[in-house]
Structure 1
């Protein structure tokens, strides 16, 4: 009751209740949850309670056994649904194997986000327990195969274990430590999740680029879809006039474009006042000798040096030939080029 008062959960899973029947119903009715599903105990052990508030969350119980309760969860303020499995695995290995098989079957029946929580009564690493017998490889291999086939990710026990270790037996202090460590762990997990999303985005961008390189220029369905998407993005279906109204009529669009271009290239200046010739001593000027040299006919060396400074494969001339052509075959076309250039300067 203290935990419920402190955290006010809308959904709660309690495992190893060790009670069922009328006694369980009596305790559940005392809690602030009006929806519940109960899995009976296994002898004097086990027991699972899934409790929820029906005014805040919709829960549809899909299946329940002594070791598991599976339910579909939807918060009423959202349209997003996910699957929860409350687990209390049997202390007996043979019965746990039945649970692992049930989880494998369920994993192949849906593609929803899936949270599994509870007591699996099994450990995968020595760090997950204190003392006791060594880990049984056969039992560890069985749950590991189940986790791999169901694509589960073990969130670990370190947060709870460290919180209990730091509390020195004080339950209130252990709960406080757990809350702090869980918040830090959640923050780290969120940062890692965002990093994974960024990597996934980069991966899909690379895949998209690869698909375009392979199929983008071919006469394929991919090429036609890409072209249609690009065409739909570039299509103009309406234009806003000077009054802020959107026009779709063809004649109105013509008038808007004509008036816009006339306004763009039309000057409001009706006369040009005559001003005295501007002069200044600080600006750069050409001497009479330098100005006269501009009209001189260039020498053969100046023509060749000017041709070498041109980019070989820039825009071609009216004859369709690049500057690189004249550079490459200068020994053949050099005389005719020099003659043509000199004739231009002599006119």
Structure 2
């Protein structure tokens, strides 16, 4: 099981306790936290509070971004192949017995930067022959049905997102949990769980 969670800040004690409880209940193989909004010594303190043994991190840029991949199983070998402020691309061994690629994503909320992310992903996809899992927050939606309320959905942006996915030969696996996980400044626990 892989848990992927846009946490919108991981340094707080309340989040650390919630993560520790979730870790105990669900026993995930990997935990991916995006938009951690902390780095350096604050990140190390937060990870220690959560009780993880191993980590691979893309540092936050001030109070934005940040990607953490965390795990405890010493049999899982995760090797960072490329780090970028919008993604962490890794090779994973020892999980389900085979080698595969994993890219944790925290896409910029700015469309021009997001397009640079997709250019990188398209370039990577041309050299990938085996299993490749991408997960995280793409700051985009695939269809208008993925949004409720707020400003009218820009279908051109949805089509662009789908086109980018198709260009990388990606398949949407869906998620478990609440369908809508973000409402204005209120965030509901919305995680993607891949098993």
- TM-score of the superposition, structure 1-length normalised? 0.45
Greater strand proportion = 2
CA contact under 8 A between 1:48 and 1:87: conserved in structure 2?
yes
Q: Higher relative CO (CA 8 A, sep ≥ 6), structure 1 or 2?
A: 2
Match of 1:111 among 104, 123, 129: 129
**In the alignment, structure 1 residue 128 sits paired with structure 2 residue 156:** no
- DSSP 3-state at the match of 1:161: coil
Structure number, greater radius of gyration: 1
In structure 2, what is the Cα distance between the partners aligned to 1:31 and 1:146?
Answer: 35
Shift of 1:132: 1.0
Unpaired runs of at least 5, structure 2: 1-19
Counterpart in 2 of 1:74?
93
How many pairs were matched up?
Answer: 171
Provide the rounded CA distance (Å) in 2 between the counterparts of 1:154 and 1:144: 10
Question: Could you tell me whether the CA contact under 8 Å between 1:10 and 1:56 is conserved in 2?
Answer: no
User: Secondary structure, in 3 states, of the residue corresponding to 2:23?
Assistant: helix
| Aligned-CA RMSD value | 2.7
Change (3 A) 1:32 1:56: farther
Query: Which residue in 1 is equivalent to 2:7?
Result: none
Please tell me whether the aligned partners of residues 143 and 155 of structure 2 are also in contact (alpha carbons under 8 angstroms).
no
Aligned-residue offset at 1:16: 1.3
Structure 1 77/16 Cα, relative in aligned 2: closer, same or farther at 3 Å?
A: closer
**Residue of structure 1 equivalent to 2:5:** none
Q: How far has the Cα of 1:57 moved from its partner?
A: 0.4
CA separation of 1:162 and 1:97: change in aligned 2, threshold 3 A? closer
Match of 2:43 in 1: 24
Please state how far the C-alpha of 1:40 moved relative to its aligned partner: 2.1
Find the residue that maps to 1:115 and give its secondary structure: strand
Aligned equivalent of 1:36: 55
Give the 3-state SS of the residue equivalent to 2:64 in structure 1.
Answer: coil
Structure showing the higher helix proportion among its residues: 1
Report the CA distance between 1:54 and its aligned residue: 5.1
1:7 pairs with one of 17, 26, 32: 26
Distance 2:128 2:179 in 1: 35
Q: Which whole-Å CA distance do the structure 1 matches of 2:23 and 2:67 have between them?
A: 17
Give the Cα separation in 2 of the matches to 1:136 and 1:128.
Answer: 12
CA distance in 1, matches of 2:30, 2:84: 19
Report if aligned partners of 2:38, 2:62 keep a CA contact under 8 Å in 1: no
1:133-172 superposed matches below 5 A = 133-157=151-175, 159-162=176-179
Correspondence for 2:11: none
Q: Does 1:49 align with 2:49?
A: no
